[in-house]
Structure 1
Amino acid sequence: MNALSPASTASPSTVASRNWSSSSTCWAFCLLLVPLTIATEAPHGYNSGYIIAMFVLGAVALVAWPFVELAVPRPLVHLRELALNIDIVVPSLIYAVDQFSTTLSYQPALQWVEVTFNYTTSNAVYFYYTQSLSNVAFSMVASVISMYTRRYKWVSFFGGCLRVLGVGLMMRYCTTGSTTAQLVIPQIIQGIGGAVVLLIINLGDAIGSAVTGTVQQNLQGLLHQYVDPVVNGNATVATRVYEGGASAAELYPQGSPVRDAISAAWSANMHQLLIGALVSGIINALMCLGMPDRQLATETQNNVTDERLGVMVDPQADPEKRVETTA
């Protein structure tokens, strides 16, 4: 069957095999990501029986998925071709890792600035969306550059480096004495980097959210470490702040010993997340170097296949001397 044949021509066996493949993939990721999210509510945390069971079943399903793909006559994903196609594998990894890094540094930022810098809710929201606004604005600039040069590899690498710079600055100024400019500029830089690096986003975001939730569990211990000595060992203060978040922290005036201790604990937890974001950002920038440095075509929309004929082509070859092979 031609790779571009209409879905309506698929046989019942083809549909069944693809359903098996799709189900295996969905169950695998659900059973791995859900326990990361709900483990804090489990009676014994990660040692709870059903949490362990979900991890084991998810891992088994994930390991089984490639074998299902290779065994069925019409797989959902052609693993052999996919694994060898650098034009698909590398950009997908870049997208997933970039979203993972972004989620670690971006998702907890709202409450962090409310607690540590006493931002009002509206100002915290403005701060939170600075990166998104920068991303949208500079995506147009990146698009023009790519259109003019007809290249994307070095634009992506430059964006990856900007991501690393933004997270590095965010780590540097992750302290209570930082100015508004020192807080906002790293967000803008990260937004610029995200605009030019992004070439599988949901998966990276889901894993990033799960890891963020896991790391933020350390906040309770850090609050006890920093706050308890200030309140003469009264553990209820740290517990109340952990459960109430920024609204509970606001009960203690900015500059008071208790609020300073709360801010220090929150910043320490944010620093842990930023380390993960920085490391994954560096990995992401290096992966950009692994992309093929292709020249984008001007006469066709698809740079790799000829959609009219359903054949693979050499996108670098002279249009008059293209080497075509059956897809």
Structure 2
Amino acid sequence: MGLMNRIRPGQSQSDNVTTTNVSTISETPEAVTSFANDDKDPASKSPEDGLHGDDAKSANEVPTEAAQSGVQNIEAVTLTWTKKSLIGIFISIWFVYLLNAFQSSTVGGFLPYVTSDFGSHSLLNVIDVVASSMTAAVFIPLAKTLDLWGRAEGFLIMVGFCELGLIIMAVSKNLSTYCAANVFYQVGFTGLIYTIDVVTADATNLRNRALAYAFTSSPYMISAFAGSYAADKMLADIGWAWGFGIFAFIMPLVCAPLYLLLTLNLRKARKQGLAKKEPSGRTLQQSIWYYLIEFDALGVFLFAAGLVIFLLPYNIASSAPHGWSTGYIIAMIVVGFILLVGFALNELYFAPVPFLKFHFLTDRTMVGACLLDLTYQISYYCWNNYFTSFLQVVNYLSVAEAGYVNNTFSVVSGFLLFLVGWGIRKTGYFKWLLWIGLPLYIFAQGLMIYFRNPTGYVGYIVMTQIFISIGGSVFILCMQLAVLATVDHQHVAAALALLNVTGTTGGSIGYTISGAIWTNVFEKALRRYLPESALPNIVDIYGDIEVQLSYAKGTAERIGIQKAYAYAQTRMLAAGTAIMCLSFIWVALIRNHNVSKMSQTKGNVF
């Protein structure tokens, strides 16, 4: 769970009180709305601006009546909390991001050794395909949870998933148990960051949101090197299982302040009469049916199952008894495809409350941003999963050193996010940054193809990572800002959920492409480059990074392994670079919104 697709912004704070032009917010919850210029004083606005003067003021002193209860509750909170509470929220968010950044960096160092302990180093992508596909299916129900139940409730549920995943990981004794735990772990931490990003959007106006996201994402600069060092020490001294156990202990302590701040301020809002807790009037059976419909349980199942079953064969076909002709490989592809078609038909014609908000897809900015995220994630994860393994085997780096190189993105982008956020705040526009970042990103990824060889200097790889970080910093903020600029406050969670669904699905596809290339290319390359004396051990070499590292520098076996890595990685990078070229079309679709003239939130926000 790297920075590039988990940074989904964080925030900052200020005394600005933004006002929402009520006339621009549709009474229909599903409507995608635009926002009026809020530069003018409310009293001076013309009649077509909607409410004005005292009417506008009173409308902005109460939560939006047409919004769902979770949105009304958070608006009540921002209308009643103090500046100290606002600052406390951002500090709490910063520490949760710090925990996520540190565990992400550390666990990234564990993973090749966890799978190698189970003799399955080459199944890295299989684990991530399953977890990413399940995670992609969670965002929309989680958005519903945040809107129907509340931000604090959704946050608490995700903390529970994190805890469950970490504990099961710590005690897992086989790959299947670890894989199941990894699903809970990735769903939990990805959902946790998504929830925090929604809260950040609740507590900021659009003009400052990119800067605020930069602030809450800044812990990645701290954890990049510390996490890699910790992974190295834990593997050497206490083992990866205790590493997961330590994070399971720390997790509740770090997350408690944010949960308490949200719940205590909601209680305060209820005492002041701005938030109400009304009984549903439903029986238990009626409530179960109601939430099954609201969360589109059938759609979630069809999407998650279809994505996993359809993508998995591309990672395991090479190890099947008869390759692509194996019966269960063909069956999985067919069944997965049928489930995905069934999902589409269910969403279009049968679901009372669709999993996806199809009306969002009528807005070209939403479509462009989501497709950019999809392409970006596919491109990145085509090659990244075996990057640290490559650095250790080919460039002779330690676990910590490989982590430092891999986390170049985290360090550089952590700083550049502030510059991007500042640029957006000063100009009010963000699209110009995309036209700068996109060509640079493609150029840098193309350079990695040239420098990814056994005789290459690792410093050149670091240089390309810096260039990639510049482009990534732009994508991270601008994609989120683009989707948020197309909706009202009622649909913030849904818009971010749609962006996360497409991005995480892109990650799954990227893992699948990477796995397909790896399983179909790497072992064949090993047979080509290894000396005949090493061929009897090819299964162990293929499946265990520690066996790969056991061959001394300069030996025929080590050189053969290095050449096989370079051969496979070059093809992964070529695929990722080619796919990323589609992004020029997606950026062209995005409107050049002036976010400084848009209002979305209420109360004491940054």
TM-score, normalized by the shorter chain, greater than 0.5: yes
Partner of 1:281: 580
How far does residue 273 in structure 1 lie from its aligned partner after superposition?
Answer: 0.3
Partner of 1:318: none
Q: Is the 8 A contact 1:159 1:193 kept in 2?
A: yes
Partner of 1:248: 547
Partner of 1:319: none
Q: Which whole-Å CA distance do the structure 2 matches of 1:35 and 1:57 have between them?
A: 11
How far does residue 187 in structure 1 lie from its aligned partner after superposition?
Answer: 0.9
Q: Which whole-Å CA distance do the structure 1 matches of 2:338 and 2:598 have between them?
A: 46
Is 1:207 equivalent to 2:509 in the alignment? Answer: yes
How far does residue 89 in structure 1 lie from its aligned partner after superposition?
Answer: 1.4
Q: Which whole-Å CA distance do the structure 1 matches of 2:367 and 2:460 have between them?
A: 36
Partner of 1:236: 536
How far does residue 33 in structure 1 lie from its aligned partner after superposition?
Answer: 2.6
Aligned length: 300
Alpha-carbon spacing, 1:78–1:102, altered in 2? closer, same or farther (3 Å): closer
Alpha-carbon spacing, 1:59–1:171, altered in 2? closer, same or farther (3 Å): same
Which residue type is aligned with residue 164 of structure 1? Answer: I
Which deviations, in whole Å up to 9, do the C-alpha atoms of 1:15-69 show, x marking residues without a partner? Answer: 5383333332222212213333444554334333223222111111212223222
Q: Normalised by the size of structure 1, how large is the TM-score?
A: 0.82
Q: How does 1:144-293 map to 2 (within 5 A)?
A: 144-198=422-476, 199=479, 200-217=502-519, 218-227=521-530, 231-232=531-532, 235-245=535-545, 247-293=546-592
Which residue type is aligned with residue 549 of structure 2? Answer: E
Q: How does 1:28-67 map to 2 (within 5 A)?
A: 28-67=306-345
- The one of 76, 82, 100 equivalent to 2:354 is 76
Alpha-carbon spacing, 1:34–1:234, altered in 2? closer, same or farther (3 Å): closer
Q: Is the 8 A contact 1:99 1:208 kept in 2?
A: yes
Which deviations, in whole Å up to 9, do the C-alpha atoms of 1:235-261 show, x marking residues without a partner? Answer: 22444321223x223333222333222
Is 1:301 equivalent to 2:600 in the alignment? Answer: yes
Higher relative CO (Cα under 8 Å, sequence separation at least 6) belongs to 2
Which residue type is aligned with residue 2 of structure 1? Answer: T
Partner of 1:88: 366
Which deviations, in whole Å up to 9, do the C-alpha atoms of 1:76-122 show, x marking residues without a partner? Answer: 24665233221221111111111111112322111111111111222
Q: How big is the alpha-carbon RMSD for the aligned residues of Structure 1 and Structure 2?
A: 2.7
Alpha-carbon spacing, 1:113–1:279, altered in 2? closer, same or farther (3 Å): same
1:176 match: secondary structure:
coil
Q: Which whole-Å CA distance do the structure 2 matches of 1:286 and 1:163 have between them?
A: 15
Which residue type is aligned with residue 572 of structure 2? Answer: L
Alpha-carbon spacing, 1:85–1:62, altered in 2? closer, same or farther (3 Å): same
Which residue type is aligned with residue 419 of structure 2? Answer: V
Q: Which whole-Å CA distance do the structure 2 matches of 1:282 and 1:193 have between them?
A: 13
- The one of 3, 8, 16 equivalent to 2:293 is 16
Alpha-carbon spacing, 1:56–1:298, altered in 2? closer, same or farther (3 Å): same
The 10-residue stretch of structure 1 (118-127 or 236-245) with the greater mean CA deviation from structure 2: 236-245
The 10-residue stretch of structure 1 (122-131 or 10-19) with the greater mean CA deviation from structure 2: 10-19
Q: Is the 8 A contact 1:69 1:79 kept in 2?
A: no
Q: Which whole-Å CA distance do the structure 2 matches of 1:78 and 1:126 have between them?
A: 38
Structure 1 portions without partners, runs of 5+: 309-327
The 10-residue stretch of structure 1 (261-270 or 247-256) with the greater mean CA deviation from structure 2: 247-256
Which residue type is aligned with residue 201 of structure 1? Answer: G
Alpha-carbon spacing, 1:2–1:74, altered in 2? closer, same or farther (3 Å): farther
Q: Which whole-Å CA distance do the structure 1 matches of 2:340 and 2:463 have between them?
A: 40
Q: Is the 8 A contact 2:412 2:466 kept in 1?
A: yes
Structure 2 portions without partners, runs of 5+: 1-26, 30-65, 69-147, 150-279, 480-501
Partner of 2:219: none
Which residue type is aligned with residue 464 of structure 2? Answer: P
How far does residue 156 in structure 1 lie from its aligned partner after superposition?
Answer: 1.8
Question: How high is the sequence identity, in percent, across the aligned residues?
Answer: 19
Q: Which whole-Å CA distance do the structure 2 matches of 1:172 and 1:215 have between them?
A: 18
Q: Is the 8 A contact 1:46 1:52 kept in 2?
A: yes
Q: Is the 8 A contact 1:70 1:79 kept in 2?
A: no
